[in-house]
Amino acid sequence: MSRFISTAICALFVCSICSTVASASDSAAGKTLFEANCAACHKTGLGGAPKIGDKAAWAPRIAQGVDVLVNHADNGYDGKTGSMPAKGGTTLTTAQISDVVSYMVEQGK
């Protein structure tokens, strides 16, 4: 029985490490994708885009939840201060958009 518990604890530990590594790579992927696809608008505020790292601009957006932000980025959105074209005018997948949004949200906290 103790061997079973030791194995289970070891498996949980390995899973937790793998989960942390996946999160780190998603963050790195999000940053890379942001620089290549989103920076033109979100670094400068072009078209009313919230600038990356602008905590005041991002706070009400973050409050809506990441799922809403991913939906807006994926499908497009017309807001009070500007418009977000679907996929930012790119061919990013929903998973890639989710990585970018997660990266941008982290910068806005």
* Domains of the chain by start residue, with CATH: 26-108 (1.10.760.10)
Q: Can you give the pLDDT at residue 26? A: 79
Q: Can you give the pLDDT at residue 6? A: 42
Reading the chain (109 residues) residue by residue, the pLDDT tens digits are: 554 444 434 343 333 333 333 444 578 999 999 999 999 999 999 999 999 999 999 999 999 999 999 999 999 999 998 999 999 999 999 999 999 999 999 999 9
Q: Are strands 77-78 and 83-84 parallel, antiparallel or unpaired?
A: antiparallel
Predicted TM-score (pTM) of the model is 0.76
The helix, strand and coil proportions of the chain, stated in percent and rounded to the nearest 5, come to: 75, 5, 20
How many residues are there in the chain? 109
Cα 13 to the chain's mean position, in Å? 26
Q: What residues contact 46, with CB distance under 8 A and at least 6 apart?
A: 40
